[in-house]
Amino acid sequence: MALLVAVILKVQGGNKSSFFSEAPQFQTLKRPKYEFVVAALFQDEAPYLEEWLAYHRMIGVDHFYLYNNCSEDDYKEVLAPFIASGEVELINWNVWTKGAEEWQKLRGAIQKHALAKSRKEASWLLFLDLDDYLYPVERMNLHEIFSSLGDVGALAINRQHFGTSGVLELSDGLLIERLTQRAPTTWEENRNFQVALRPCHTVTFARYQEPILVPGFSLVMEDMTAVTGRKTPHVHVALLRINHYWSRDQKFLLSKKMERLSRNGSEHMAQNLEMMNRVEDRSILRFASLLKDRLTPQEVSKEGADEPLCRLAETDVSAGD
């Protein structure tokens, strides 16, 4: 299988990293180390990390690139056993953003970085947030779904937005058990998507969520409809969807989410909370018993990545792995 190899030049001394500064070249990679790698950015989400990681390991994700963005909670304790086992690579990407433009630039830079890391080791690279749960609608794992897609270069996976479900605080039980109310399937915001791509078919990203693929391939939905821009033409979630637990519980919404929305220019989404609690949907609970079996107590080391030091986005967006 031909693999595109891109060069990342990291400029020291506070200058911005230069991604794909040389033209990609082809190299043969017979057997990737991982079939599915997930890349995700997180900030102060330690209470949700273990369940999220265990769930995605259960449905077939082999490896994770987790990008820490200025977290101040105990994420290192939670991640320690996953790092020790080799399942997680923790990357500090401590750039503080303000406004929608800076936020999108940050996420776009991380997509390019993850793409470059995945070229030599992954068949598929999937981008998620920590409130996204990939849900195989009728199958049990990702392999069964992606093997049925044929030679697709990149897939746009629609979200289904979930609200608080009237839960004040997620203190007991699984998140997927407690948060069971979502917006109607074809709601406009559900045209938003996350990207899954084959690194060997992807040159770079034009901008966040807009991959540039080699000739002959394009970003498509699961029904093979071509996607251009930031939203899909319609919503299609017969094979695979993302349960997007947008607000989590009411405590998280008020103490964390609202501040982030204000800082990153997405305050309008708070007006949609009632819409996100209209439809009762417990379909993902068929995985609950298996997930509970995976969430067993384990010894945790406090060793981890260096303490974060946040920087202003306009002065430095470089980061290392």
Mean pLDDT by 10 residues, the chain (321 residues): 33 32 44 95 95 98 97 96 98 85 89 96 98 97 94 97 95 94 97 97 94 96 95 98 95 80 61 92 97 70 38 37 41
Q: Is the pTM of this model over 0.75?
A: yes
Residue 194 C-beta-side C-alpha neighbours within 13 Å = 26
| pLDDT confidence of residue 262 | 65
CA distances from 104 to 43, 98, 119, 198, 264 (A): 15, 10, 23, 22, 9
Give percent helix, percent strand, percent coil of the chain, each to the nearest 5: 30, 25, 45
Query: Three-state DSSP class for 155?
Result: strand
Q: Is 140 exposed, middle or buried (0-12, 13-18, 19+ CB in 10 A)?
A: middle
Cβ neighbours of residue 36 under 8 Å, at least 6 residues apart? 60, 61, 62, 63, 122, 123, 124, 126, 142, 143, 146
Hey, what amino acid is at 261? L
Q: What would the 3-class secondary structure string for 258-316 be?
A: HHHHHHCCCHHHHHHCCHHHCEECCHHHHHHHHHHHHCCCCCCCCCCCCCCCCEECCCC
Q: In this structure, what token pair is assigned to residue 62?
A: 């082999």
- Parse the chain into domains and list their residue ranges: 2-308
| pLDDT confidence of residue 94 | 86
| pLDDT confidence of residue 317 | 38
Reference 256, options 54, 80, 47; nearest CA is 47
| pLDDT confidence of residue 5 | 33
Q: Is 62 exposed, middle or buried (0-12, 13-18, 19+ CB in 10 A)?
A: buried
